[in-house]
Amino acid sequence: MSSFKTIISSVYLSSRFYYSGLAVVFVFAASFFVPVLFSLAQLMLVALIIFTLFDALILYRNMQGMTAVREVPEKLSNGDENDIKITIQNHYGYDVRASVIDELPQEFQIRDFEVKRLLKSGHTETIIYHLRPVFRGEIQWGSLYVKTSTPVGLVIRNYKFNQNQEAAVYPSFIQLKKYELLSFSQKLHRYGIKKIRKIGHTMEFEKIKDYIPGDDFRTVNWKATAKAGKLMVNQYQDEKSQPVYCIIDRGRMMKLPFNGLSLLDYAINASLVICDLVLRKQDYAGMFSFSRKVENRVKADRRGLQMTKIIEALYNVKTDFFESHYGRLYADISQNIPQRSLLLLFTNFETMDGLNRQLPYLKAISRSHLLIVIFFQNTELEHITQYPANNVREVYDKIVAEKFIYEKKLIVSELKKYGIQSILTKPENLTIDTINKYLEVKARGMF
């Protein structure tokens, strides 16, 4: 009895059936005026019922006529196109029309996902669609439906596959892999990464060793040579293992959106790439976030599991929609980072007043560390200034936009006046500009 109810609940009458039924009704209605049509209407009705029953019979004769499987990656990359794969197989002995309906996670707000295919007998087809999340966290798919009909097309059978699946949206590891591949490329300039010549002789002493042909005579240690009675030279190594911290402001100003992603997510994705680059350059990579308090701390290190710790910490960074407390940030840095380090501060200042409130703390931090303040251009305002004004309101909007753009430039000048380096960048250029700044600092031996 339960299996019969299941069959009944999965039966749908197609639009072709309804159109045929309308034709029968029309003929019946016409028979009131032309009685000879009454017999034709009866024949049409009987034929419709017979064909419908026959269609349902051959459709339900094979209890497992269709199978479908959805394949979802365990982790999705935030801000990137992720591939989702659905594999459907026709087990019927004839061609069928299939309509695949997938219940996507509610975060995407897509309610009309449907893909139609004509499947030959015994044929398997793979459907790949793409999802671009603009958030982090866990998401869940619902059921997967496949609506199937025969070439007759009067009855539709609905298959439901309980494919409730979960996945987690992580910071952009696709972007991370892209820059890993670029690190092996000889054409980095095409992607905006500058090749910066190393300046100076930033070497540190390692040991004294015997001279061998080919050693630089400038490294001869004459005191050790006199004592040993043979040529001895100093051996040096490049200065390495310098701490680099990505500091992410998760206050309310970082929740501003751009192209679907918040500024906070742009900072998180860039931090992931920078930390990986830092480790490849043999420096110590660490990160933490702050707002009213400091959280998500990963101490600077370069052990094997460091990137795993950083990825998990970045995954858990959430905004609290409060104004960030720079005084607490300064106190935390003073207490927990005793060694001079490179601090990449991802934040956002919209006005000079906003900067002036935090400037004393930034100046205090920069006395002990090399601080680089990274904040964002407002590209929406720049779009306003690019078009001519046609009325008074547009003139006013353009003047206000130019004022805010000018204030961003003033912020850069104000920071420079106190010896604090900064990067003013568009959100889409954040990663490239930060990489270039790190490589410049590294090449010049500035920390």
Consecutive 10-residue averages of pLDDT for the chain (447 residues): 44 68 77 77 81 82 88 94 95 90 92 90 93 93 91 85 90 86 52 53 67 82 88 73 93 88 94 93 94 94 92 92 92 94 94 93 95 92 83 85 90 94 93 90 78
C-alpha distances in Å from residue 281, one per residue of 91, 330, 438: 55, 27, 10
Q: Given this model, what pLDDT does residue 275 score?
A: 95
Gap between the Cα atoms of 124 and 293, Å rounded: 54
Concatenated DSSP letters for 59-121?
Answer: HHSSTT-EEEEEE--SEEETTS-EEEEEEEEE-SSS-EEEEEEE---GGG-----EEEEEE-T
The encoded tokens of residue 433 equal: 């500009």
Query: CA 15, 21, 26, 29 torsion: positive or negative?
Result: negative
> So what's the pLDDT on residue 68?
93
Distance CA 227, CA 229 (A): 6
C-alpha to C-alpha distance for 376 and 6, rounded to whole angstroms: 57
Q: What is the pLDDT of residue 362?
A: 96
Q: Give φ, ψ of 85 to 5 degrees.
A: -115, 135
Q: Token pair for residue 340?
A: 């001079």
Predicted TM-score (pTM) of the model is 0.78
> Among residues 349, 352, 401, 404, which one has the least CA distance to residue 376?
349
- pLDDT for the residue 7: 43
DSSP 214-283: TS-GGGB-HHHHHHHTS-EEEEEEE----EEEEEEE-SGGGG-EETTEEHHHHHHHHHHHHHHHHHHTT-
Q: What is the pLDDT of residue 319?
A: 87
Q: Are 92 and 62 in contact (CB under 8 A)?
A: yes
**Those residues with Cβ within 8 angstroms of residue 187's Cβ, 6 or more apart along the chain or in another chain:** none
